[in-house]
Amino acid sequence: DAAEASANGKVEVQDWLPGQDVGLLLLLTGGTPVLALAYDEIVAQQADGSVRGLGLAAPATGMGAGRLTALALPLARSLGMDRGFAFFSFRADAGGRAHLYEVNPGLCGDGIAELLLPGLFPGFDPFAAEIAAWTGRDPLPAGPLPAPRAATLLGTRLLPGNAAANAAELAAAASA
């Protein structure tokens, strides 16, 4: 069944680890983060056992960006990811341990760059920041960004507030 649902007919099989999915976005210059944001990845398990992504909520409610950055930064450096955006996906288990399961260099999809980041940091252009970082310019020329506003990205809709504030909307999306 999984191979049929896959675009290329291939699947990756691994043990299921229950917990909360947490993403980490880093914007790097010279191997040093100038922006670190942890966000919750909101998923729902379907009746057939499959898992469907519903959206993202930031900042993360469980693990903070500082803790995740301490785990991710050595790996980023070892992979030569020293400038621009880098994304890391973790699963936080019931004991509070973070398990890394995915790493992506550059701006990713999922509405993060075009919807979530501008909603969290009004006036911030992640595409311009990415180009600046890769061309040796300051990706944050106006200085550090303020603390992010809380927001939930549900599909292509950006809602104010964290996942708890949008529980009804998320529940409706999960059952749809």
Q: Which residues on adjacent β-strands are paired with residue 156?
A: none
CA angle 109, 114, 120 (to 5 degrees): 115
- pLDDT for residue 31 is more than 90: yes
> Per-residue confidence at 15, pLDDT binned at 50, 70, 90?
confident
Q: Which residues of 15-25 are buried (b: 16+ CB within 10 A; e: fewer)?
A: eeeebbbbbbb
**What is the per-residue pLDDT across 92-144, written as a single tens digit (0 to 9) for each?**
999 989 999 999 999 877 788 988 999 999 999 999 999 999 999 999 989 99
pLDDT at 2 over 80: no
pLDDT the model gives residue 36: 95
Q: Looking at beta carbons, which pairs linking 1-6 to residues 24 or more positions away fall under 8 Å? A: 5/50
Instruction: Look at residue 86 and tell me whether its pLDDT is greater than 90.
Output: yes
Report d(CA 21, CA 63) in Å as an integer: 10
Residues 116, 113, 29, 65, Cα dihedral to 10°:
30
Q: What are phi and psi of 81, to 5 degrees?
A: -85, 85
Query: pTM for this one?
Result: 0.85
pLDDT of 16 higher than 80: no
Give yes or no for a contact between 85 and 106, defined as CB atoms under 8 angstroms apart.
Answer: yes
Sheet holding 51-58, edge to edge: 98-105, 84-92, 20-29, 32-45, 51-58, 151-154, 157-160
Q: Among 14-18, 25-29, 113-117, 159-163, whose mean pLDDT is lowest?
A: 14-18
- Cα angle 113-123-164, degrees, rounded to a multiple of 5: 60
Angstrom distances, CA of residue 106 to CA of 28, 116, 131, 133, 166: 10, 16, 10, 11, 29
